[in-house]
Structure 1
Amino acid sequence: MFLLRQQVEKWWTTEAFGTHCDVNESSAEDQRSIKILNNTVKRGENRYESGFLWKNEDVKMPENQATAMGRLKKLEKSLMRDPKKAEAYGAAIRAYVDAGHARKLPREEAERHMCLED
């Protein structure tokens, strides 16, 4: 039985598959990701938080303001037609604010980040 156990353990090790992991050889992306993790990982009450591990430093997000504004207008119409849905939506937003996950931006700050329609 002991010999069988040894053979099974050997079979399950990565060495038995002929693979080798050299932690000293890592790509520039890996090194950058490790640096981000080392500088940003925080342990919360029941979770961990870290910075984004984007592939490139200077990430350009697509222009989607028109799409977002269209969705906002559609949502507003939907909430105006359904008061119960509007109340539930408002409660969810208040919960985000109360938990510190969201905040209302002063207009000046919002304008610095995007062009607002009047």
Structure 2
Amino acid sequence: MTTKSAKDLVAEASRDIETLSGPEAAKLVGDPSVMFVDVREAEELQKTGKLRGAVHVPRGFLEFQADPTSPTHKPELGGGKKLVLYCGSGNRSALGAKALKEMGITNVAHVAGGFPALQQAGGLVEEVNR
């Protein structure tokens, strides 16, 4: 069996999911049919803040909190909204979007370039309680 690198997995995921640029994603901020999902770790949010209105779901918990049968389910991840995932660079969000798609959540995308791309495109940032 050939071992795949993390880079290979991200490239594979990117072929299977919708990818938005920072400016494309920033245009969706405030759209009531869209939920932004920050999949970074809590420490990252505390340093930089998060996109205003985004829900925080660390990448390691994403599948569990997206699963409506899970005791840790986050209702913000349901309800038919388009889920737009972002992380620090676009790698974890690509893997997360692919995982959600494999779970049957088809209205999902991720942001290439992650949080910095959203900031650069004018996405408003809010502080996270420490």
> Shorter-chain TM-score category?
under 0.3
| Structure that is richer in strand per residue | 2
Looking at CA atoms only, which structure, 1 or 2, has the larger radius of gyration? 1
Kindly indicate whether structure 1 or structure 2 has the higher relative contact order, using CA contacts under 8 Å at least 6 residues apart: 2
TM-score (norm 2): 0.19
